[in-house]
Structure 1
């Protein structure tokens, strides 16, 4: 097929240069820098094409310098002007241009001095609007004394690499896209070379080993031939060993006696780098990039690589790495080595280092000749990948697992994948089947594993008692020190909390985090405790533990646990009012979810993002996050609940309380079967729905919703949940006319929040309190309280509610001056109604926004029309433009 060269993954750079061309005032210079192959020439060609195709722009002048041009006077100038007219011709072209002119010079480090002098002179002397864009391989901040702007090109991202493959008709495995991007560092020339050189069919396999492009291999071979034997030996040793192995190991493996001379020569060859090393003590050479590593391996040959791995296995200290080297050197089945790998994999799994365990199990399977045992080890490899949170890697092996004979382990593993992908029904069917066919006497470890998967299944169903029952079963069968036992134990506390036993839950996590203080399993305990603390109002401790759990990812933690920690950390920061930090953690979590293939936490992350964007008035972005949450096909409660809450948050911020009601009413039915949804403190939905019912005039329905939850919250003694319910009850009491009791209820809510770092909740209570007082005619008191709400919202950046507070203050009349009302005397309330109707809001929407009835809105409209001499909403809107 024909592949048309396009500029992929550079939209930001294209928009930046395009904006500079459109707004250039005089002569301006921009240097585009980046290493060879990064796509500078492609970007420049695209910019020229855009300039030529765009209406209302000036000329586009293009030249490409070369080594021979540097010694040929005015060679580049002749390319630009397409003539021998020199500087005069260039000046004429710039003067004749009807719009801003784009001058592009590729490989500008080779430009001849005469052309450069003419270009600088003409652009200085002629005041025409000209943007000169030059590409160079090295960063340049000054050009003959002229200060220039620099735009540095780095490698393209995963999405752009996937687009390059798609344009070539290549179906690529999702995990391979990320690996190809990292392998090439996103350098377009290298990406394209590999896409074109390798057979298209290999890209759909998840286990593909990525080589170097042929031109890189040829270049590396040539460089190696120029090196001394000691330098070649050192480079080959560095290729075989992990980057963090001590230099002494590489020197021993290479068998050299003058490592410093070899290091210097390796660096001079361009094949190795020594980052931030000024003394021999700091020297730790590495291959410059993954492509060079692959090319050196290719140049060594199979026999030499195998021999080097066998010798490395005797040198490295880490048992898993030693085993890796032995495996790399073994091309055929080796039962003894396979058994050793299996044993080490189980040890790593017991420590929670599931990524290591997955690799070891898979290697063991490759070296196993006995079919049943081989199938078991392959399945355990997939299971370990899932435990590590690598759904993409595990998914690549699912067809292989599905082709194996049915076993309890096979069903439990496929159920695990269904859980992480959010597929509740599939997970339940596979778990039930695994439990039905497992032999408890012969396979107690597999039975415990299945029980632990039931624990996870009930966790994301937000079930309390069932979670605790399965956790107890798993711990009893496997023991508290086993991987399944530890996993069950660190989740069990959440089940206790959702079963109405928060004190026991707290005590259990205190013991667990003290007992499991190190290693990957500690991340699970720390994350679980942070999640519990957030639900129980210990917000500061929750943030500390969740931050710790995120940082543990670098110490061998699980991607799955890190993802949950990021999701709940963002939620904690939202509640505390640190919204910028929350959005940063949301984005980190979304990137991790994409790379891992774990879909469970997506809606939770999007809920926080949608909340913040809607409160900031960033409506398109808020809607985009809600739509993103809806794309997750999962049916687990832990996905469905935050998606509904996100939609309700946007509707509430827009004062669309009828939509809030429609969105959240399904939760009233779901709560009958979901204990985690009923327990206070975990999902803030009752107060939001009750408030919407009150604003919509459904006072009896609001009372019926609030009453049982108020009783439950009183039994649990949960402060923030009680404050939220009092926020809604205060609204209800005010709507029924009991303003004195409403005031007491709102004050109680504020007292409960006193001392808790929940700024958003304090703002909500104050806003509702002030609105209720204003409706009751207590304008001076309302003014002070809404002013407090406004200040909190302002500190949060919640512009949506800052504007609503200001409208409330204006409608109250105490802060309005006669000059604010124009020539016609409108009351403050009429001014507020006028402003909202002029924006296109319906009577019901205006009523919800101002917390008055639709009839009152119509009454005010009638008076407004009479005062202004208008007859319709359209005329009112036109008069206010």
Structure 2
């Protein structure tokens, strides 16, 4: 009977031999779970017995996890291991018999227990056995604490199960840990609620419900067991396909070729073992149950029972459903009025769909089309057709145009690809195909479907084909070929007949010029693109962003703002009031505001933009938005938020190849970590930035790497290195360097002044003076004029300049204003006025310490010491917080829940819990309520 159950539940039991092979070689990740379990278990060393239950589906890695925990604890605990098996469920006290080698030592003193381990179970109750076992364990644990492991508890015999329950109820101060693994709804508790109840009844119990691997851990797994390293997007696709299951990932990686794993025109394969088990399972079903299951596979989503029954043409839906629920092929929600249901697992659904004949699929799709909602009906209409259908193709093209106008480029591409397949003429098919690829490129920047690559090359020569092939050349970093194709398309196209193709070619030819830092060539092309009009809102948004950057590089940010205001309908001054459909307008305004040094406005615009991306309100998610926001927040003095956004930008690797933002993201992370004195991490980020910039061959990426290098040198107090890094930018001083002048030119002038290179410093200041209209200029000018005058011993001029800067609003650029205040205080010290200097130094020290800017705070503290004052004593434990612990602690102190923190950082709630537990330990906290006060006291808030 047990074998029948196993075969009927392929997702519940899997292939045991394959799972054992996987366990032996492919354990990755789970560091948080391992640390959580080991930390909790080690408390038993003080006489607090612990019950730990790891619950999860087959193949999710329960056994591998408890083995790793056992390895971690092996040096301090005696390990007793038992593994249950369905073939041994009838062996009474089977768990105790597996523990026999540990129990035989005291055989003469515990005859009942010794007899049980030898199979003498007749007449022995579970209560007696548990009492005898507990007495023995109590004595043994005095010498060394014991870790009792029971793997696959759902297959435990009833007598052993009763012994374990009794043991947990009766232990008190023994140095014992009972570590169990089980599958949900089986064996140990009978139901999920029962598992939780058993844990909560224990004095110290903990339930870990193990889900799929995180994306990071899953990526590590694919590298360990895959045939070749997959691109990030392919790993994400496989992760979604398998729900993060290590076993199924291992199966797919072992069975599928590298081409199959990266071919987006086909579904990822179902593991052969699962497909075979599902096929055997559905062959046993009654006809109506099979029909209902097939209909659910065709519908491929959660639907009301009545809808599924109508598609399947089943007269008695409840009767057809019952066997599917018993076999755990289907899950349903009976507490909801429409009793919705769906197939238990996406892999099961795919296996069922693939097992159907083509005739069955066509018939079911045809039945579903008029019954489902309008959006869902399209896929069923297309799937129900088996020959060219020009009328349906025309309908699909019309729908694609509406989707593109609404900014849904990916959906527009899907409709056009369907339309192309149903077209009955080559010209219409190729036109739709090329337009579809254009929409894909508009949304994703790259084309990952090799079949579409080949199809585009096979199209007849035309400007649209040149554009698509030019974009493919961009994706492989062949800018010379891309420029040739875009130029040829512009020369052979008619703007009146093909305005959108011309606009796209202008946009991307202009983009290449921006990347090469030749913004004067780029600007007229981008202007023309916007005048002609783009085929989608995504394309328009991109062209506007590039135009904003090019305009700032040619004219300077102030004039660029005027030019853009005349051409683009700006959103309201309060970005929160921006209509959802106009959200993308915040991007070019944020770029220009950042270039103009209005970091507050840039931060406000980009915060709303990225917030709407994060909440799923807009689909156009760009890593660059998070990088620019991080930069604005850095200069605004919000370093925690800057690090969060820089880290998130690094994880958004959807844009591969030359359009990757990894060089920028790591550069920004290097700046923040260097500012906090985390030198090793800063240099690691900087090296990664340099490596990616070298691969991309784009000056814009090189600029970011140089900018980060300059700030690292600044944090280290090395003006010579800062000047060496930035001087080439000054001599170039066009395009990107000019557009982003305020983020690097003040550093160069400061370094030159500190080195005594006053002539060059004056040249640098003259360049800054071309931006006199900027509020930031007034602040920077006051600072550098004061520093220059002080260095020339003109203290009256220096004092006047410094004091003019101090009365400016600190919202302009708090970081620069604090640097001004620090130099002013140093001048006061040198003039013998320590009493006047001390208040300024305390303000500087507080600002830097609140940021966690250790190198800068140390310099302020040294100046305070020099005038006989001391900075506020800080908790020395704070310096031991990692960057991620610092960030999570900061957010928790603001009152955010673990779930809210997880959402903000794009991590799991368990990750937040793990890091917070480390923070509590390092800062000697017992309550979350202590965080704000302790963090303020320790200087990590």
Same fold, judged at TM 0.5 (above): yes
Deviation at residue 788 of structure 1 after TM alignment: 0.8
Task: Indicate if the aligned counterparts of 2:636 and 2:811 stay in contact, CA closer than 8 A.
Answer: no
User: For each residue in 1:580-615, what CA deviation from the matched residue of structure 2 results, as whole angstroms up to 9, or x when unmatched?
Assistant: 333333333322224766744333333332222222
1:806 to 861, 880, 885: 861
Aligned counterpart, 2:357: 301
1:25 equivalenced with 2:45 (yes/no): yes
Aligned counterpart, 2:902: none
Aligned counterpart, 1:566: 626
2:251 to 193, 200, 204: 193
Aligned counterpart, 1:763: 818
1:351 equivalenced with 2:406 (yes/no): yes
Distance 1:149 1:618, change over 3 A: farther
Q: Please say which of residues 552-561 and 616-625 is displaced more in the overlay.
A: 552-561
Task: Indicate if the aligned counterparts of 2:409 and 2:536 stay in contact, CA closer than 8 A.
Answer: no
TM-score by length of 2: 0.75
1:412 equivalenced with 2:467 (yes/no): yes
Task: Indicate if the aligned counterparts of 1:603 and 1:642 stay in contact, CA closer than 8 A.
Answer: yes
Deviation at residue 387 of structure 1 after TM alignment: 1.1
How many Å separate the matches in 2 of 1:242 and 1:509? 46
Aligned counterpart, 1:644: 706
Aligned counterpart, 1:135: 181
How many Å separate the matches in 1 of 2:869 and 2:567? 53
TM-score by length of 1: 0.79
Aligned counterpart, 1:576: 636
How many Å separate the matches in 1 of 2:164 and 2:570? 70
How many Å separate the matches in 1 of 2:326 and 2:566? 59
Aligned counterpart, 2:30: 10
Task: Indicate if the aligned counterparts of 1:589 and 1:605 stay in contact, CA closer than 8 A.
Answer: yes
Unmatched tracts of structure 1, length 5 or more: 818-881
1:151 to 203, 208, 216: 208
User: For each residue in 1:413-433, what CA deviation from the matched residue of structure 2 results, as whole angstroms up to 9, or x when unmatched?
Assistant: 344356577776665454334
Query: Secondary structure at the residue paired with 1:280?
Result: coil
Query: Secondary structure at the residue paired with 1:146?
Result: coil
Deviation at residue 787 of structure 1 after TM alignment: 1.1
Aligned counterpart, 1:507: 565
Aligned counterpart, 2:758: 699
2:803 to 728, 743, 747: 747
2:298 to 240, 243, 247: 240
Task: Indicate if the aligned counterparts of 2:26 and 2:225 stay in contact, CA closer than 8 A.
Answer: no
Q: Please say which of residues 773-782 and 32-41 is displaced more in the overlay.
A: 773-782
How many Å separate the matches in 2 of 1:597 and 1:278? 49
Task: Indicate if the aligned counterparts of 2:631 and 2:642 stay in contact, CA closer than 8 A.
Answer: yes
In the TM superposition, 1:670-685 aligns within 5 A as 670-671=732-733, 673-674=734-735, 676-679=736-739, 683-685=742-744
Task: Indicate if the aligned counterparts of 2:392 and 2:422 stay in contact, CA closer than 8 A.
Answer: yes
Task: Indicate if the aligned counterparts of 1:32 and 1:135 stay in contact, CA closer than 8 A.
Answer: yes
In the TM superposition, 1:393-792 aligns within 5 A as 393=448, 397-398=452-453, 401=456, 407-416=462-471, 427-438=482-493, 440=495, 443-458=498-513, 460=515, 465-478=520-533, 488-489=543-544, 491-498=546-553, 499-500=555-556, 501-505=559-563, 507-508=565-566, 511=569, 513=571, 522-536=582-596, 539-553=599-613, 561-594=621-654, 599-632=659-692, 633-671=695-733, 673-674=734-735, 676-679=736-739, 683-709=742-768, 711-714=769-772, 717-756=773-812, 758-792=813-847
Distance 1:487 1:503, change over 3 A: closer
1:208 equivalenced with 2:208 (yes/no): no
User: For each residue in 1:221-277, what CA deviation from the matched residue of structure 2 results, as whole angstroms up to 9, or x when unmatched?
Assistant: 5776787776655554443336487887656534567778877886665344456x7
Distance 1:486 1:65, change over 3 A: closer
Deviation at residue 359 of structure 1 after TM alignment: 1.9
Task: Indicate if the aligned counterparts of 1:549 and 1:562 stay in contact, CA closer than 8 A.
Answer: no
Q: Please say which of residues 496-505 and 742-751 is displaced more in the overlay.
A: 496-505
Query: Secondary structure at the residue paired with 2:370?
Result: helix
How many Å separate the matches in 2 of 1:554 and 1:161? 22
Deviation at residue 639 of structure 1 after TM alignment: 1.8
Distance 1:392 1:187, change over 3 A: farther
Q: Please say which of residues 178-187 and 202-211 is displaced more in the overlay.
A: 202-211
Unmatched tracts of structure 2, length 5 or more: 1-17, 108-112, 114-131, 185-191, 873-941
Task: Indicate if the aligned counterparts of 2:466 and 2:488 stay in contact, CA closer than 8 A.
Answer: yes
Task: Indicate if the aligned counterparts of 2:447 and 2:472 stay in contact, CA closer than 8 A.
Answer: no
In the TM superposition, 1:119-130 aligns within 5 A as 127=175
Distance 1:769 1:462, change over 3 A: farther
Deviation at residue 634 of structure 1 after TM alignment: 1.8
Distance 1:316 1:76, change over 3 A: closer
Q: Over aligned residue pairs, what C-alpha RMSD do you find? A: 4.2
Q: Please say which of residues 1-10 and 40-49 is displaced more in the overlay.
A: 1-10
Aligned counterpart, 1:116: 164
Deviation at residue 404 of structure 1 after TM alignment: 5.8
Query: Secondary structure at the residue paired with 2:652?
Result: helix
Query: Secondary structure at the residue paired with 1:60?
Result: strand
How many residue pairs get aligned? The number is: 802
Distance 1:634 1:519, change over 3 A: farther
